[in-house]
Amino acid sequence: MFPEFIEKLTQEVDGADNAHDVMIFTLSTCMWCKKCKTLLKDKNVKYRYVDLDKIDSGEKINVLKYIREKYKPDRIAYPFLVCDDKFVIGYDPNKYEELLKPGGN
């Protein structure tokens, strides 16, 4: 679960596989983010996303600060995928596979 200020920004994509809580922070213009969304959809994974370029500056800073403080990534690149308490920076199908497999993560 995410803080309320993030939850209210999310779009949900339904899927039969809801074994994990999957959230992606994305850019609507980003080719890698589109690939990530397509991969999750093809795998029938239920997920939520926030397109950071579509929210206002105040919301952006709050989301970015949250990501930095919560996950302490080396940097933030897109898509930034969170699966339960693990995260993946940038498009990486192999890492997604590991996290999303039954019993993974």
Partner 1 sequence: MDMETKEGMKEYVKAVSQKNDWILNKDQVTFDNLIDGLVENKKKHGYQSCPCRLASGNRDLDRDLICPCDYAPDDVKEFGACYCNLYLRSDFYETINTEYVIVPERRPLEKENAVLEHFNE
Which residue ranges make up the site for partner 1 (CB under 8 A)? 27-35, 52-53, 57-58, 60-61, 64-65, 75-78, 90-92
**Cβ at position 3, least distance to partner 1 in Å:** 18
Nearer to partner 1, 17 or 92 (CB): 92
Nearer CB in complex with partner 1: 13/76: 76
Q: What is the 3-state secondary structure (H, E, C) of the chain?
A: CCCHHHHCCCEEECCCECCCCEEEEECCCCHHHHHHHHHHHHCCECEEEEEHHHCCHHHHHHHHHHHHHHHCCCCCCCCEEEECCEEEECCCHHHHHHHHCCCCC
